Amino acid sequence: MALRGTDGGRSGGGSRADEQRQRILAGAVSLFSRSGYRAVSMNDVAASVGLSKPTLYHYVRTKEDLLVAVYEEVLDESLRSARRIVAEAPSTREAVRRLIVERVRYTCEHRDLLTICFHEESALPAELAEPILERRREFERVVRDAVEAHLAATGRTLPMSVGTYVSTCLGAANWTYKWFDPSGPRTATELGDDVATVLLGLLDGG
């Protein structure tokens, strides 16, 4: 995950300061997902990673910066992965299938991040919310374009609008964070295959 430094620049891994910021963010993710963003203070974040509050503020300006970093991590990774899948898939149908499988896998394997994203959107600072929401719409457009490309290539139709179908696919994939059991019997990828099989039935039936 990447977190903006106190100078406003976005930091990745590498330097010792960057590594400390990522440790702070990981601690914040654990607290936010377990207790809720609003219930967690910067004192709590500092204590969770063994830092004093003044030292914490050397690395992170505000609690809002931590929340924004969570959304940026999820959306940046989702967008990178979706674009790669579409570019590498051997067919339009396989592109849609892989997008669904990957969305389920990522959601199930990063439930702490997704719990925050699905529950704390209203806590995003107003001046930063719109760029984040636009990034989410960009990801959704990649999925929609993949579905439309398949329909155009095959001449098939859907029993609903493309927008409704995409929302159904993403809703089904996203909701797995609530009930996926990491102890089994299905792995996250296997569950993704199951969900994709059901949703592709609509795509194949027209």
Instruction: Find the mean pLDDT for residues 24-40.
Output: 96
pLDDT tens for each residue of 158-189? 999 999 999 999 999 999 999 999 998 999 99
Is the pTM higher than 0.75? The answer reads: yes
Same domain assignment for residues 47 and 89: no
Domain boundary among 18, 36, 61: 61
In this structure, what CATH number is given to the domain that contains residue 26?
Answer: 1.10.10.60
72: nearest Cα among 125, 31, 7: 125
Give residue 174's domain range. 65-204
- Note whether 165 and 78 are within 8 A (CB): no
Cα gap 167→200, rounded to integer Å: 14
Does 76 score more than 70 pLDDT?
yes
Same domain assignment for residues 110 and 148: yes
Same domain assignment for residues 47 and 114: no
- Note whether 101 and 94 are within 8 A (CB): no
Same domain assignment for residues 192 and 95: yes
67: nearest Cα among 108, 122, 140, 16: 122
**The pLDDT value given to residue 17:** 84
In this structure, what CATH number is given to the domain that contains residue 108?
Answer: 1.10.357.10
**The pLDDT value given to residue 127:** 86
Cα gap 5→112, rounded to integer Å: 23
**The pLDDT value given to residue 18:** 85
Does 145 score more than 90 pLDDT?
yes
Same domain assignment for residues 100 and 137: yes
Same domain assignment for residues 117 and 184: yes
Name the residue type at position 101.
V
Does 124 score more than 50 pLDDT?
yes
**The pLDDT value given to residue 1:** 47
* Average confidence score pLDDT of the chain: 92
Same domain assignment for residues 56 and 70: no
Does 3 score more than 80 pLDDT?
no
Does 29 score more than 90 pLDDT?
yes
* Structural domain count, the chain: 2
**The pLDDT value given to residue 206:** 54
| Collapsed DSSP state (helix, strand, coil) of residue 4 | strand
Domain boundary among 24, 40, 61: 61
Instruction: Find the mean pLDDT for residues 106-114.
Output: 96
Cα gap 40→153, rounded to integer Å: 50
Same domain assignment for residues 168 and 123: yes
Same domain assignment for residues 191 and 171: yes
**The pLDDT value given to residue 40:** 97
